[in-house]
Homo-oligomer: A and B are copies of this chain.
Amino acid sequence: MIESTVTLLAMRGLQATAFSDVLAHSGAPRGSIYHHFPEGKEQLVDAALELAGERALRVLDTVAGQPPKAVTAHFLDVWREVLKRSGLRAGCAVLAVTVAADSPDLLDHAASIFRAWRRRLAELYVTAGMAEADAIRLATTLVAASEGAVVVSRAERSLEPFELVAQELLAATP
């Protein structure tokens, strides 16, 4: 169910993701929702954010110790795959929640995930020899530009915008 929620958030946004959609997509039994998530939708979305955030962090572990360009390229690969596998219909669940967040708690959670991504990327850049200030600036730009590129490519239903941004980000990585 959490897995399905991540997917649906990324494809349709927060309000458009109803329990019925999650059940249909996951095949989970109808009566299970409030058993596993007694606090309702907010708890389910919260769990989905956690999963999406952690998964991206784990992907980054595989490039620890590699040069900056490899780090940048790998982070870009994650988003390129999201776009490709969904036929350019999916985006980022964390962004979707940020844009439509009704509760301060969900917004805070989304913020902590963005921060974690930025921090982890900056760490990897520093490990690869970059200066601290350059690392955090590039890491933040990578996160922001990737998120934006996914949105634009999704709207235009073309990978072209994403690839242009990817080129620019790789060029900006020492």
Contact = CB atoms under 8 A, between A and B. Distances in A.
A98 interface: yes
A161 B140 contact: yes
A172 B165 CA distance: 12
Contacts of A14: 13, 15, 100
Interface in A117-174: 118, 136-138, 140-141, 143-149, 151-152, 154-157, 161, 164-165, 167-169, 172
Given A111-B156, A114-B156, A157-B111, A99 B140 contact: no
Q: What is the oligomeric copy number?
A: 2
Interface string A1-26: 00000000000111110000000000
A140 B151 CA distance: 12
A99 B101 CA distance: 12
Interface size band for A: 35 or more
Nearest to A137: B164
A76 interface: no
B148 A143 contact: yes
- Nearest 6 A/B pairs, CB to CB: A148-B148, A13-B100, A144-B148, A15-B15, A147-B148, A145-B145
A168 B141 CA distance: 7
Given A16-B102, A99-B99, 7 more contacts: A15-B16, A16-B100, A95-B148, A140-B168, A141-B145, A141-B164, A172-B172
